[in-house]
Amino acid sequence: MGIVAVLMLPLLLLGISGLLYIYQEASRLWSKSAVQNKVVVITDAISGLGKECARVFHAGGARLVLCGKNWEGLESLYATLTSVADPSKTFTPKLVLLDLSDISCVQDVAKEVLDCYGCVDILINNASVKVKGPAHKISLELDKKIMDANYFGPITFTKVLLPNMISRRTGQIVLVNNIQAKFGIPFRTAYSASKHAVMGFFDCLRAEVEEYDVVVSTVSPTFIRSYHVYPEQRNWESTICKFFCRKLAYGVHPVEVAEEVMRTVRRKKQEVFMANPIPKAAMFIRTFFPEFFFAVVACGVKEKLSVPEEG
């Protein structure tokens, strides 16, 4: 009996591995079919996350419209995508110069996209501008610029495309947001305020357009880290240890977020929050024990102010 059990264990592991492989392949094919031939607009496509979203959706056979405020960056991304793709299975991306903080040109760009393809199936609002500093040292002009880029820009682009989605009774809008839409973090007043505002807009919009079969989704990671912040490849124990430490100390990688955006589109999820246990615990404490949360955050600010800055 003991020998039979020993022999069955490898077979069981092999069977589980086979099922996982089949599931992953089926998910990959399902993801491709969900975006194949779809017109997908990605704002700030030249950012780390924008590039990964472009790669994932381009491989899935989407008709990409890549928006960015730097033409050289867009051309570089275009060259990267077309150099590795199969021309028989992919479409040539369209490049559009767009700065979402320049509200005056956002409507014209959105209309240009509609005139080109006749519709937009999926809009990925990815653009974001950050600023860090004490509230009294951030000028109102900079506050307005952050609000234009993070709030007025995305909603202006969305409002131009939305009537077409409603009339066709199909479409999906994905907002890539941030944990700071859930609770504020010191020294990021303008950024946090813009993220709160845009989250509120799309939460309301979700309910308004549900009857037209238009899906509104939000994907909120803690923050998106650099491409190069991965643990060194050493022995197994060290790698596992660093894996858990990284999950506690760092945000999520652009590749992870891009893949989650694809899953969100495929499954038509309404809200996704990507975070390790510490931010999730902070959200829980902020909701149910706000006074304790505010006290802890205030203590952190006092400690930071008590440390003399270099230079």
Please provide residue 6's backbone torsions phi and psi, each rounded to the nearest 5 degrees.
-65, -40
How many other CB atoms are there within 10 angstroms of residue 130's CB atom? 15
CA distance 95 to 63: 11
191 flagged as catalytic: yes
Of the listed 191, 212, 227, 250, which one is catalytic?
A: 191
* 217 vs 271: CA distance, rounded Å: 6
Q: How far is CA 73 from CA 30, 40, 51, 69, 78, in A?
A: 30, 19, 10, 8, 9
Exposed, middle or buried, 9 (CB in 10 Å: 0-12/13-18/19+)?
exposed
How far apart are alpha carbons 98 and 230 in whole angstroms? 32
> For residue 16, which of 8, 4, 6 has the smallest C-alpha distance?
8
Chain-centre distance for alpha carbon 91: 23
CA distance 253 to 110: 29
CB atoms within 10 A of CB 60: 24
**Alpha carbon 3 to chain centroid distance?**
50
User: What torsion do the CA atoms of 102, 264, 227, 221 make, to the nearest 10 degrees?
Assistant: 80
DSSP state of 224: B
Return the structure tokens found at 261.
């955006």
Q: Are 234 and 248 in contact (CB under 8 A)?
A: no
H or E element, residue 82: helix 71-84
Q: Which residues are catalytic?
A: 191
